[in-house]
Amino acid sequence: MLQNTVSTRRNIGGTEFPILAAALPVVANGPVGDTYWHIRLKAATTHLLSRPGQFFQLRCPRSEAGDPFLRRPMSVYAVDTNVGEIAFLYKVTGIGTTGLSTLVPGDTLDVLGPLGVGFDINPEWDHVLVVARGVGLATMGPLAKALHHNGVALTAICSYRTPEATIGLEPFELHGSVHTVYDTDGTSDVASVDSLIREEHARRSFSFAYTCGSKRIVRLLQDLSSQLGFGGEVALEQRMACGLGMCHSCVIDLRRGDTVESVRVCSRGPVFSLGDIVAPEETLSWYRSCDESAI
Amino acid sequence: MSVVLETVCGGVRLRSPIMPASGTFSHEMENVLDLGQLSALVLKTTTYTSRRGNPVPRVTETSFGMLNSIGIPGGGIQHFVANELPKYRRSGAPIVASISADTAAQFGEMAAILSDEGLAAIELNISCPNIEADGQAFAMSREATARVVATARRATTLPLWAKLTPNTGEIVNIAKAAESAGADALVVANTILALAIDADSRRAELGNIMGGLSGPGVKPIILRMVYQCARKVSIPIIGCGGISSGRDVVEYLLAGATTVQVGTESFRDPTALVRIERELVEFCDGRGISSLRELIGGLMVQDAPAGAPDVDVAP
């Protein structure tokens, strides 16, 4: 069971969950579907506590693709406190994730986390929306579980390139109702998703919306949240070095009243209020030539 | 009997010769270690006025290191004194503030402002652009280096550490100029100006196009500079460049550094400062080295043949 408490905003350095810096044994690591990989690590139960949306900095090993110098930020995909395991979902795209894919049981992976601020959950909410796409779904799995534990009804719209790329649906199917939409049949178009959200909202109104990873969806949800009157949050990513807030690499612009403020994604995020995001096209770029990770 | 780590460097008594490099350390490190364990807290550079910093991406990795172009974001000196400095006082470790400014006069003003803040020393980050010299970094020029150090010297009695840039071709002359102007120690050095390009997109990897190279790849270059400077100045040298292990510290001491700063490695291993100190102790204890003085400047060199070019200019 994942955390079932109400998340509260905190700055990094809060004592809520200790930050672990350790090498964890690999339990399993392999491909799921045709696009993604899943790695499970052994950890003491006390080290498994994190909030949905928080992330770890993984020190990926070297491989024939190269030696990744910096850690790779990756959000927690799943935690199993019964057996003491933490899991990450990733797509092999660069030297970091290529190195990660070479790990086998018996190896260890150096992890640092949990880091950052997770999603807000309010048990008084009736019904919330999750819109996620591709590897961004990894971030949302723990959120679906935590919403369920807090008695909040969930409708998820999971967007994929193709029906074959479908992954990470289980937490949403278990804890809410799911719509899958695809590029191949046009159902993932902004206009189609827009109507789908309006239909669902008319059926049972949304109190809140969560998303990550797609600038089109961020912009759509920004519009819909102001038109339909619900709040929302987005999990962002930015190229990082330390992940702890020391290096000031991973900044984005946030709206603060009439001014724009530059904040660190690692320590003030990676989860931010939808309405505060200034320019989705600038802030939601993938790790360009490095790796596509799941935050 | 374990090796004695305690040392005095540029007017500051330090529990160990290993400290964080400016810009790679802040109070968030207390998430993974006790800041009281550190020999000194060398803070991120604060500027005279507030700065937004540079466009993203601000970092990229390369073989054996990384490039950064952060742009010294911050709220300026007044904000630093009121809001940043207090976060570091409770650890008990000596605090070294790093300052940077557009003009020598501003360096002096900042040094004066910081004089009564209980600092152990002020590090002068003179690798930043001098707007009075078309943006060329102060530490690229003997005259500008001397002017900044002398101005700060008149403004405060605190120890002054001058952080030199490796981007000059005459670092020994710059080091001598800083010493003559009143620096108590030299930090050798800062990042090396560099460029990383993505061949697919044909774009620079950094939003600011160019950035500073750091990490293990720069170590041989900075070791060379420490060696050259240590032979020509009599103030302590703080070696800073690519240190990621206790053995690297030993190499810097052998080249002539008295103490070292560890930067980039803390991004990969946030507990590196503590680990590297442990490795240094293991290295020394395993070889019966009881004092770091046995290592400092201890590089073994054969006598140069007569007529050979000076090491400063070869090859």
- Which residues of chain A neighbour B25 with C-beta distances below 8 Å? 246
* % of chain A exceeding 90 in pLDDT: 66
Q: A249: distance to nearest CA of chain B, Å?
A: 5
Residue B205 confidence (pLDDT) above 70: yes
For A256-264, what is the mean pLDDT? 88
Percent of chain B at pLDDT > 70 equals 96
User: Cis link prior to B236 (omega < 30° from 0)?
Assistant: no
Chosen for mutation from B24, B31, B34, B63 (greatest number of chain A CBs closer than 10 Å) is B31
Which uninterrupted H or E stretch holds A203?
helix A190-203
Confidence of residue B305 (pLDDT cuts 50, 70, 90): low
Residue B124 resides in a domain: yes
pLDDT digits (tens, 9 = 90+) for A130-174: 999 877 888 899 999 999 999 999 999 999 889 988 888 888 998
A258: pLDDT strictly greater than 80: yes
Q: Which residue of B has its CA nearest to A286?
A: B57
**Sign of the four-CA dihedral A51, A55, A60, A65:** positive
Using CA atoms of A72, A75, A78, A80 in order, give the dihedral in degrees to the nearest 10: 70
Read off the pLDDT band of B129 (50, 70, 90).
confident
Question: Is the model's pLDDT at B244 over the cut of 50?
Answer: yes
**DSSP states of B151-211 as a string?**
HHHHH--S-EEEEE-TTSS-HHHHHHHHHHTT-SEEEE--PEEEE-EETTTTEESBTTBEE
Q: Which range has the worst mean pLDDT, A258-262, B196-200, B253-257? A: A258-262
Is it the case that residue A108 has pLDDT exceeding 50? yes
Q: How many CB atoms lie within 10 A of CB A78?
A: 19
CA angle at B127 for the pair B124 and B130, rounded to the nearest 5° = 95
Touching check for B208 and chain A: CB below 8 Å?
A: no
Residue A94 reports pLDDT greater than 60: yes
Can you give the pLDDT at residue A35? Answer: 79
- In this model, does residue A97 exceed pLDDT 60? yes
Chain A residues closer than 8 Å to B66 by CB = 69-70, 241
Q: How confident is the model over B139-156, as a mean pLDDT?
A: 97
Is residue B148 domain-resident? yes
Would you call B70 and A248 a contact, using CB atoms and an 8 Å cutoff?
yes
Pair of tokens at residue B91: 């650890």
Mean pLDDT calculated for residue range A218-234: 94
Facing residues of A42 across strands?
Answer: A85
Q: How far is B288 from chain A (nearest CA, A)?
A: 31
Distance CA B177, CA A254 (A): 44
Q: Judge residue A24's burial from the number of C-beta atoms within 10 Å of its C-beta, 0-12 exposed, 13-18 middle, 19 or more buried.
A: buried
Tell if the CB–CB gap between B28 and A21 is shorter than 8 Å. no
Q: What are the start-end ranges of the E strands in B92-139?
A: 95-100, 121-125
**CB distance A69–B66 less than 8 Å?**
yes
Q: Are A13 and B31 a contacting pair at CB < 8 A?
A: yes
Q: What is the mean pLDDT of residues B198-221?
A: 96
Of A268, B244, A198, residue with least CA distance to A179: A198
Mean pLDDT on B246-269: 98
pLDDT over 80 (residue B182): yes
Residues B284, B295: Cα–Cα separation, whole Å: 9
Q: Residues B157-166: pLDDT tens digits?
A: 999 999 999 9
Of the listed ranges A282-291, B187-196, B271-280, B293-302, the one predicted with least confidence: A282-291
Nearest CA in chain A to B200: A289
Q: What is the mean pLDDT of residues A15-23?
A: 80
Residue A112 contacts by C-beta under 8 Å, 6 or more apart in sequence?
A: A19, A20, A21, A56, A57, A58, A59, A71, A243, A244, B32, B270
Cβ neighbours, 10 Å, residue B60? 26
pLDDT band at B312 (very low <50, low <70, confident <90, very high): low
**Residue B129 sits in which domain range?**
7-54+72-191+216-294
Size of interface A-B (CB pairs under 8 A): 103
Q: Is residue B39 one of the residues assigned to a domain?
A: yes
Mean per-residue pLDDT, B233-249: 98
pLDDT higher than threshold 80 for residue A124: yes
Does residue B306 sit within a domain?
no
Residues 6+ apart with CB under 8 A from A119: A7, A51, A52, A53, A143, A146, A210, A233, A235, A271
Q: Is residue B200, in this structure, part of any structural domain at all? A: no
A44's enclosing H/E stretch is: none
Mark yes or no for CB contact B198/A289 under 8 Å: yes
Specify the amino acid at residue B7: T
User: Confidence class of residue B131 from pLDDT cuts 50, 70 and 90?
Assistant: confident
Instruction: Give the separation between CA A223 and CA A225, rounded to whole angstroms.
Output: 6
**B144 is written with which tokens?**
């500008």
pLDDT digits (tens, 9 = 90+) for B168-180: 999 999 999 999 9
Q: Please count the structural domains in chain B.
A: 1
Chain centroid to Cα B24, Å, comes to 10
Q: What is the nearest CA distance from A115 to chain B, expressed in angstroms? A: 10
Q: What is the mean pLDDT of residues A215-239?
A: 92
Q: A94, A83, A97, A80: which is closest to A38 by C-alpha? A: A97
Query: The CATH number of the domain where B184 resides is what?
Result: 3.20.20.70
Helix (H) or strand (E) holding B63: none
The beta-carbon neighbor of A241 closest among B26, B59, B63 is B59
> Among A256-265, A277-286, B111-120, which is the least confidently predicted range?
A277-286
Residue B197 lies in a domain: no
Contact B73 A238 (CB under 8 A): no
Collect all residues of chain A within an 8 Å Cβ-Cβ radius of residue B65: 69
**8 Å CB contact of B28 and A245:** yes
Q: Return residues 9-28 of B near A (CB < 8 Å).
A: 23-28
**Alpha carbon distances (Å) from B239 to B20, B187, B194, B256:** 11, 6, 20, 8
Q: Which amino acid is at A248?
A: H
Q: How far is CA A150 from CA A3, A156, A244, B246, in A?
A: 9, 16, 29, 49
Asked if the Cβ–Cβ distance from A69 to B65 is below 8 Å, we say: yes
Q: What sign does the dihedral B132-B138-B141-B143 (CA atoms) show?
A: positive
User: DSSP states of B220-244 as a string?
Assistant: HHHHHHHHHHHTT--S-EEEESS--
**CB distance A247–B31 less than 8 Å?**
no
Sort out which chain A residues have CB atoms less than 8 A from B205's CB and list them.
288-289
Q: Which of A66, A112, A247 sits opposite B24 (nearest CB)?
A: A247
Confidence of residue A92 (pLDDT cuts 50, 70, 90): very high
**Among B287, B286, B314, which residue's Cα sits nearest to residue B301?**
B314
Please compute, for residue B158, the number of CA atoms within 13 A of its CA located in the half-sphere on the CB side.
29
ipTM of the complex: 0.93
Q: Which of A239, A241, A262 sits opposite B267 (nearest CB)?
A: A241
pLDDT tens for each residue of B49-88: 999 999 999 999 999 999 999 999 999 999 999 999 999 9
Confidence at B304, pLDDT banded by 50, 70, 90: low
pLDDT band at residue A116 under the 50/70/90 scheme: very high
Share of chain B above pLDDT 90, in %: 91
Taking residues A48-74, report their average pLDDT.
Answer: 94
Q: What's the pLDDT at A226?
A: 92
- Range with the largest mean pLDDT of A5-19, A255-269, B112-126, B131-145: B112-126
* B75 in reach of chain A (CB within 8 A): no
Catalytic residues of B: 128
Looking at the domain assignment, is residue B300 inside a domain? no
